[in-house]
Amino acid sequence: MKLAVIGSAGQVGQEFSKLVDADQLVLLTRDQIEIADPASVEACVAKTDAEVIVNLAAFHDVNGCEDDAHKAFQVNALGAFYVAQSAAKHGRKVVFFSSDYVFGQETSRDTPYLEQDQVGPLSVYGASKVAGEQLVAIAATDHLVIRASSLFGVATSKKGWTFPEMIMQRAQSGQPLKVVNDQYMSPTYTNDLVATVLSLIKANATGTVHVSNAEGCTWYEFARETLKLAGIDYDIEPVGSDVFPSKASRPSYSRLDSQRLAGFDVPAPRHWREGLQAYLVEKGVMKN
C-alpha cells in the first residue's frame, strides 16, 4: 500500500522512511504542499497515486500557538480539513496525527485517558488539535486519527533535539538539571509509534486510536531513567512546573491508553522504558 506523507521531513515523518520501502512512499514537504491553502492541497492530492494520505503537518509550538491562534487553527484545524476533504474526494484514506494535549481540564485525573473520553484542552494548541480531529471526521469517512504523546526518537524535531538527548547533553556538559515532577505523561518512541500506525493502516482501522508506549511517568522520572540507562551518574533536581513559567498551560496528567488497538488485532507498543532503551541503542549510546 502506497503512502503519501505530508510533513515527511519532521520527527515522525522521517520514521516512515525507515520503516516503509522507498517505492511505497511519496514524501511531501512544504515545498510541495501548503496545507493551509486548499488549492495547493487539492493539486497535490489529485496527482499522487498513494492510497493513504498521512498528514503530519502541524504548528507544534505550544507557546507560539498562544501568540498566534489564527495560525494554529489555520494549520492544525483548517489544514487538516483540506487534506481530509481532498483525500475523501479522490478515494484515499487519511491519517491525522493529534496529541494528548486535547486533554487536561480534569485536574484531579489519575487514570489514563482512553479514546472515548471527553476532550478538554487547556491551550490554543490543544484546542486547534481538537478542531482538527472533528473536521477530519466530518470531511472523510475513511479517516484514522492518531493521538500520541511526548515524542522522542533519533530523528529530531525543529527544535534540533529531543528530551532524552537534551538531558544527556546537559548532564555531560555539567549544567544544572531541574526537571518538572508534576506533569504525568506517556513517553512515546517515534519508531514504535510509526510501526503501530502502519499496522493500523494495514488493518484498515478507522476512527480515533491512542498510540503511546505503555505505562507513564513524570518528566523527572523520564530524565532520571535516561541517565541511568545511558550510564551517566548525574544529579537531577525534581521541581514543580511553576519553576518554568509558560504562556500555554500544560496538562498535569495526560497519560494515554488504548481500548481500540486490540479490536484491530494490533499489539500495543512496549513499555516506555523498553522504548527508551531501544532509542539509546539506535542512537549508539547503549549496546544492544
Tell me which DSSP letter residue 270 carries. P
Nearest-angstrom CA–CA distance, 88 and 143:
9
Distance of CA 19 to the CA centre of its chain: 17
Residue 91: left (phi > 0), alpha (psi -120 to 50), or beta?
Answer: left
Would residue 125 show up in a list of annotated catalytic residues for this protein?
yes
Residue count (the chain): 288
For the chain, how are helix, strand and coil distributed in percent, rounded to 5?
40, 15, 40
Q: CA-CA distance, 249 to 50, in Å (whole number)?
A: 38
Distance CA 35, CA 37 (A): 5
Question: Alpha carbon 207 to chain centroid distance?
Answer: 17
Cβ neighbours around 176 below 10 Å, total: 9
- What pairing do the DSSP bridges indicate for beta strands 3-6 and 52-55? parallel
Side chain identity at residue 29, one-letter code: T
Among residues 82, 125, 189, 253, the one annotated as catalytic is: 125
Q: Which residues are catalytic?
A: 125
